[in-house]
Amino acid sequence: MYRNFLKRIFDIIISIAFLPIFILLAIPIAIFIKLESKGPVFFKQKRAGKNGTYFEILKFRSMSSSPDDEKKEFEPGEKKRITKVGAILRKTKLDEIPQIINVIKGEMSIVGPRPEVKKYVDVYPEEWEKILSIKPGITDPASVKFRNEEELLSKSSDPEREYKENILPKKLKLYEEYISNITFINDLKIIFKTIFTVFFK
């Protein structure tokens, strides 16, 4: 029962409680983003949601937004386009907090498998079909375990292959384990683990 109605109530309560903090953080973050580089404050991208329905995920923009760069698709491990402000936002995971809006809209949950872009969903369609039976989330066990994913990928000679063949399968396994044991207590544990990992590790 928790994975449906009660989980949604939990999402709404947490989101509304966090909304004032989001607004307070958004103002200085937006100013720093605009001062460093041209482009929008928010980054939007199509991600796979529940039952394979795609939605636009919201993040604070952490990459350069020049016309030439916009033609390129951001690849795993690529650091050239990440701005100085963006590097801080990514390290502290502050770039993710606009997803509170996605949660309020019902597109995401606070805790759940991280939403992925289509090209990586297409790599393992059978696994994703099960995973996308629930809403994606802002954080989950894979987010905690692979917090330094960008650093790992940047050290690889072939980041794209490393992500698809090594990291992504491990994430999918963690997603499936989470789905098999969704409880209120487990969600709270994941939230506290995420906070601890971001601020104390």
Letter string b/e over residues 53-71, b meaning 16 or more CB atoms within 10 A of that residue's CB: eebebbbbbbbbeeeeeee
Q: Are 126 and 52 within 8 A, CB to CB?
A: no
Q: Which pLDDT does position 135 carry in this prediction?
A: 97
Which residue matches tokens 């330094």? 148
Per-domain boundaries in the chain: 2-200
Identify the weakest region by mean pLDDT among 21-25, 79-83, 90-94. 79-83
Q: Quote the pTM value.
A: 0.92
- Joined together, the tokens standing for residue 12 give 């709404």
Question: What per-residue confidence (pLDDT) applies to 3?
Answer: 83
What are the strands, taking DSSP E only, across the chain? 42-48, 54-60, 109-111, 137-139
Task: Determine contact, residues 140/115, Cβ cutoff 8 Å.
Answer: no
pLDDT score, position 111: 98
Q: What is the pLDDT of residues 26-68, one digit of tens each?
A: 999 999 999 999 999 999 999 999 999 999 999 999 998 765 5
pLDDT tens-digit profile of 144-166? 999 989 888 988 999 999 999 99
